[in-house]
């Protein structure tokens, strides 16, 4: 292909989304709508990556693994589970009503420090930045194209690490990642890195005229 590429996919709609629970380490499965969303992204990936050998890595949380199963089925492959791809650890706020969590643990005003721990027993921005970086460093580009299924906050961290942003910089930036959105990270032969696309949800809204993934991987 000429480029080292990674495809990131956020998980589909999860039960915590519709039941008013916090996300993070609240480990719920995807909804009926989520399964349809996962089917759509899986079919799009299969259609646009025809003839490309892929491998699949997913967070071990149910909402990510449920989504990955649809992709695995389309490509007739098995997914590898990796806990480094989990969402931000929200400590004692896991499984808590989201409104209650916001009341008990209000967000601070001003810029967030990378070592700030928003939830007791939870993770800091630096914690997530570290494990996202370790995951990317462990990726091999000799062979199949990696498709990675993860979470919104972790996709933030993966993009930041890919762009070589420090934990300090990561604490002040964010990248949109809607359910089953596709983000493509690339590195050329000189080691220069870019984000080819972020938060691509064309498969959900019927948008036409987008650049196909196979074209993007060649450009």
| Whether the Cβ atoms of residue 81 and residue 172 lie closer than 8 Å to each other | no
Q: From the candidates 11, 16, 65, 203, give the one annotated as an active-site residue.
A: 11
Burial 94-107 (b: 16+ CB within 10 A, else e): bebebeebeeebee
Contact yes or no for 79/149 (Cβ under 8 A) = yes
| Phi-psi sector, 164: left (phi>0), alpha (psi -120 to 50), beta | left
Q: How far apart are CA 11 and CA 35, in angstroms?
A: 10
Catalytic residue among 4, 39, 48, 87: 87
Give which of 189, 181, 162, 160 is closest to 172, Cα–Cα. 160
Would residue 87 show up in a list of annotated catalytic residues for this protein? yes
Q: Cα-flanking dihedrals φ and ψ of residue 206, to 5°?
A: 75, 15
The rounded distance, in Å, linking the Cα atoms of 201 and 67 is 15
How many Cα atoms within 13 Å fall on the side-chain side of residue 31? 11
Phi/psi zone of residue 127: left (φ > 0), alpha (ψ -120 to 50 degrees), beta? alpha
Q: What's the angle, vertex CA 101, arms to CA 91 and CA 119, rounded to 5?
A: 30
Active-site residues, by number, are: 11, 87
């Amino acid at each position: 292909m000429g480029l080292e590429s990674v495809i990131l996919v956020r998980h589909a709609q999860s039960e915590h989304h519709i039941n008013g629970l916090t996300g993070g380490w609240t480990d719920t499965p995807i909804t009926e709508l989520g399964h349809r969303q996962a089917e759509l992204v899986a079919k799009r990936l299969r259609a646009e990556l025809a003839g490309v050998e892929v491998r699949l890595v997913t967070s071990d949380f149910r909402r990510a693994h449920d989504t990955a199963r649809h992709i695995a089925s389309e490509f007739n492959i098995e997914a590898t589970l990796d806990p480094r791809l989990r969402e931000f650890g929200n400590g004692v706020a896991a499984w808590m009503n989201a409104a209650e969590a916001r009341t008990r643990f209000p967000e601070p005003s001003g810029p967030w420090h990378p070592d700030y721990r928003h939830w007791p027993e939870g993770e800091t921005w630096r914690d997530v930045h570290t494990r996202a970086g370790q995951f990317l460093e462990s990726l091999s580009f000799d062979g199949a194209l990696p498709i990675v299924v993860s979470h919104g906050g972790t996709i933030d961290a993966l993009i930041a690490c890919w762009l070589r942003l420090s934990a300090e910089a990561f604490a002040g930036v964010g990248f949109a990642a809607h359910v089953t959105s596709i983000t493509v990270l690339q590195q050329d032969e000189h080691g220069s890195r870019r984000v080819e696309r972020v938060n691509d949800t064309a498969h959900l809204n019927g948008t036409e005229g987008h650049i196909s993934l196979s074209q993007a991987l060649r450009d």
